[in-house]
Amino acid sequence: MKICFRNASLLDMVQGMQIKENMQVWTEDGKISFVGTDASAELFLRENDVTFQRIVDCKNNLLMPGFKNAHTHSAMTFLRSKADNLPLQEWLNHLVFPAEAKLSEKDIYALTKLGILEYLQSGITGICEMYLTPDSIAAACVDMGMRCTLTGGVNNFSQSVDDLKRWNKELNKMNELIRFVPGFHAEYTCDKSLLCEIAGLAEELKTPVFAHVSETRKEVEECIARYGMTPVAFLDSLGMFRYGGCGYHLVHLQEDDYEILKKRGVYAVTNPASNLKLASGIAPVSRMLKEGIPVAIGTDGPASNNALDFFREMYLVSALAKVREEDPSAVSGEEVLVMACKNGAYACATPDSDCIAPGKNADMVLIDLTQPNMRPLHNIVDNLVYAGSKINVKLTMVAGRILYEDGVFYTGTEQEEIYEEAERIANRILG
């Protein structure tokens, strides 16, 4: 399907944050086929026979790359506002793990769909998903049209290295929307022999590895007590991140950790709302950026957040960094938007979704600049990060397909049907 976006204010993010006026972007077969001024496009159309199935008049609103949610557990929607006001370990062991043990693959398929609706409404065009049944999550994403990178959550109690091998082989061939990268839950839920197996698989496949790392002070202290090293240093000693990867949270880092993360090319994925709600702490985002460690943003799951609102995450990334550093200049709006769009694409192993240029994935969002929270237009980038809201998302496109527009979802599944199934699952499991 060929779609033309015209009269756009374009933030293509190819180089810097310059916004170009009166631009057109054409999409075809899931890719961006043309980017240019309205005038150059009209000249091309006079000389060439091009037929569009749809023309979208952007009316000078902002067309930009979609946000990438670089860490989430979507099917935890069933626990939204049910498992609150507890520290991480108690939250996991007393509420989350027992409830998750009752979930089926079919449940996780249905609950993931609910999460996808919220992502689209928030301008998110790609997610990095760690949860119990990657096969059914991948199926939900394909059926809804969402781009998804999946990773394993291997631990002592569920999933295995053989599962990682199978998913790596099968899911990477499943659909153009789906990627798989090996991963494990965390150091504290895996014994050393299991972690060595995962590191061996990473070496065999020459692949990055994703995991929760240094999320709480307790996690770091217990790892030092077990192995005499921080989680970052211990995992590095096993060769875990020889080919890079993602460390989710990275809230409590010690001096040597920064050099290891930089040396190994590990992406730090910060999850500010979840870390605040679980009282885990504030990640040292400003320090990581200064050390040359790339940072992306995730919502974490809807049980610990409880929202999947990327505008809230972007605001918190910057505001918390300013408080932590006691410096109002720490982590600018531009830096946050790079994390949300470009770095998120790289962290999710989907580099062709990083910007708007010919040949790139047609993963875009149209931002309504006519809403009162966007005016005056002194600085549109800062407006997005500090004042932006879901009300500003007019349209979300993934792989050239418009999945959300003006409050209506076009995912192939009725909204109410998704709600009703999620309620049935939650009631069955939680009572």
The pair phi, psi for residue 318, each rounded to 5°, is -75, -50
Contact in structure between 92 and 303 (CB atoms under 8 Å) = no
Query: What's the pLDDT at 83?
Result: 80
Q: How many CA atoms lie within 13 A of 401 on its CB side?
A: 15
Helices and strands (H, E) in the chain, number of each type: 17, 18
Contact in structure between 245 and 264 (CB atoms under 8 Å) = yes
The pair phi, psi for residue 123, each rounded to 5°, is 80, 15
Outline which parts of the chain fall under CATH 3.20.20.140. 67-349
Query: What's the pLDDT at 431?
Result: 83
Structure tokens at 77: 């929607």
9 CB-near residues (< 8 Å, 6+ apart): 19, 20, 21, 23, 58, 60, 61, 62, 63, 369, 380
Outline which parts of the chain fall under CATH 2.30.40.10. 3-65+356-409
Contact in structure between 326 and 297 (CB atoms under 8 Å) = no
What radius of gyration do the chain's Cα atoms show? 21
User: What residue type is 94 in one-letter code?
Assistant: H
7 backbone φψ class: left, alpha, beta (φ>0; ψ -120 to 50) = left
34 CB-near residues (< 8 Å, 6+ apart): 24, 25, 26, 41, 44, 358
Structure tokens at 363: 């993963």
How would you list the strands of the sheet with 266-270, edge to edge? 183-186, 209-213, 245-249, 266-270, 295-297
Q: How many CB atoms lie within 10 A of CB 120?
A: 27
Nearest CA among 63, 2, 67, 1 for reference residue 36: 63
Nearest CA among 315, 320, 313 for reference residue 288: 320
Fold type of domain 3-65+356-409:
Urease, subunit C; domain 1 (2.30.40)
Which DSSP helix (H) or strand (E) runs through 296? strand 295-297
Angle at 259 between CA 254 and CA 262, to 5 degrees: 125
177 CB-near residues (< 8 Å, 6+ apart): 141, 142, 145, 146, 147, 148, 398, 399
User: What residue type is 73 in one-letter code?
Assistant: H
Nearest CA among 186, 257, 263 for reference residue 226: 186
Between 1.10.1740.10, 3.40.50.720, 3.20.20.140, 3.40.50.1370, what CATH number should domain 67-349 receive? 3.20.20.140
Angle at 75 between CA 300 and CA 299, to 5 degrees: 15
Angle at 139 between CA 122 and CA 200, to 5 degrees: 100
Nearest CA among 352, 288, 398, 292 for reference residue 66: 398
Q: How many CA atoms lie within 13 A of 56 on its CB side?
A: 28
User: What residue type is 262 in one-letter code?
Assistant: K
d(CA 42, CA 121): 32
Q: How many CB atoms lie within 10 A of CB 197?
A: 18
The verdict on whether omega for the bond into residue 306 sits within 30 degrees of 0, i.e. cis, is yes
Contact in structure between 307 and 271 (CB atoms under 8 Å) = no
Structure tokens at 113: 């769909």
d(CA 50, CA 314): 39
User: What residue type is 278 in one-letter code?
Assistant: L
Structure tokens at 24: 């057109």
The whole-number mean pLDDT for each consecutive block of 10 residues of the chain, a chain of 431 residues, reads 97 97 98 97 92 98 99 97 88 91 98 98 98 98 98 97 98 98 98 98 98 98 98 98 98 98 98 96 98 98 96 98 98 98 98 98 98 97 98 98 98 97 97 83
How many angstroms from the chain centroid is the CA of residue 424?
A: 27
Query: What's the pLDDT at 91?
Result: 86
Instruction: Count the residues in the chain.
Output: 431
Query: What's the pLDDT at 88?
Result: 84
Q: Determine the longest span between alpha carbons in the chain, in angstroms.
A: 72
d(CA 152, CA 272): 22
Query: What's the pLDDT at 351?
Result: 98
